Amino acid sequence: MNLRDRIRVLKEDRDAVILAHNYQRPEIQDIADIVGDSLELAVSAKETGASVIVVCGVDFMAETAKILNPGKTVLLPVKDATCPMAHQLTPDIIREARTAHPDASVVLYVNSTAESKALADIVCTSANAVKVVRSLGTREVLFGPDCNLAAYVQNLVPEKEIIPIPPEGHCYVHDAFTLDDIAEARKRGGTIICHPECRPEIQNGADVVASTGGMVRAAPDAEAWNVLTEREMGYRLKSLFPGKTFYTKEEAICEDMKKITLHALCRSLETMQYEITLDPEIATRARTAIDRMIAIGR
């Protein structure tokens, strides 16, 4: 039996659902039951009827699935598949910022650890960050861990003061796009769409700024796109819109997302590893912050 068939059989045996982020390898996207951005995965994790949830993504995504499904088994196929940006924000940084800004709300990007989420008032994704911040009653907002997403929100919500925590938190994949990439795309032609984790000058130079879910929704609007985000998003878009052209940057790779392979996924279903476990108190507090975001929607 080949690897793909073995995964399908094991999936049935385990009563498992496979969730994959848009940045996963093509073969993982192809075998997954649901492919999406962080919000789509969080919502589908909450709605699934399966008893086992396998998250093909990085650790904070698996933690989010576990927080929303405390009674289910949640597996991350590779133990050290993590998001370096999420770990740039620690609970101590949040506590210190709260002390310095006692009237501020704390909004954390879903790309944060469960311990950090437990200290947030509300969570957001790049798809709903603006809506989440606008929904708050306070003028000051502590926002972490991505300073580029914070700048994007500040631009669209000028009536509030967005304070990034930590001041320079960023995703190394998106932060590496430069104005040369914009110039190259302009020469090539096509619409330029970038993720809000890119630097402000890249956001200003692009035609559209959107989350990966937003990129899927925007795709019908043009025939050719320059997609400034992790490379595998091009595969996702091409699968959904085969008649259109999507240019991506070869070097824009999230190494941790690529740790999940078919072999790792198969082994995970065979051995039921690596199971996500969380401190119940942290999970309950983090859940309140995530549920608030889900109630607000996209």
Where along the sequence are the contacts to ligand SF4 (CB under 6 A)?
23, 58, 83-85, 111, 171, 173, 230, 254, 256-257
d(CA 72, CA 50): 8
Least distance CB 173 / ligand SF4 (angstroms): 4
Q: Is residue 163 within a helix (H) or strand (E), and if so which, with residue range? A: strand 161-164
Q: Which residue lies nearer to ligand SF4 by CB, 60 or 246?
A: 60
Q: Which residue lies nearer to ligand SF4 by CB, 14 or 29?
A: 29
Least distance CB 85 / ligand SF4 (angstroms): 5
Q: Which residue lies nearer to ligand SF4 by CB, 10 or 165?
A: 165
Residues 236 and 248 sit within 8 Å (Cβ to Cβ): no
d(CA 155, CA 149): 10
Q: Which residue lies nearer to ligand SF4 by CB, 85 or 163?
A: 85
Q: What is the dihedral of CA 221, 224, 227, 231, to 10 degrees?
A: 130
Q: What is the DSSP letter of 196?
A: T
In sequence order, the 6+-apart residues with CB closer than 8 A to the CB of 271 are none
Least distance CB 169 / ligand SF4 (angstroms): 10
Q: Which residue lies nearer to ligand SF4 by CB, 160 or 248?
A: 248
Least distance CB 168 / ligand SF4 (angstroms): 14
Radius of gyration of the chain (CA): 19
Least distance CB 110 / ligand SF4 (angstroms): 10
Q: Which residue lies nearer to ligand SF4 by CB, 10 or 229?
A: 229
Least distance CB 149 / ligand SF4 (angstroms): 10
Q: What is the dihedral of CA 196, 121, 78, 68, to 10 degrees?
A: -120
Transcribe 234-254 into DSSP letters. Answer: HHHHHHH-TTSEEE--TT---
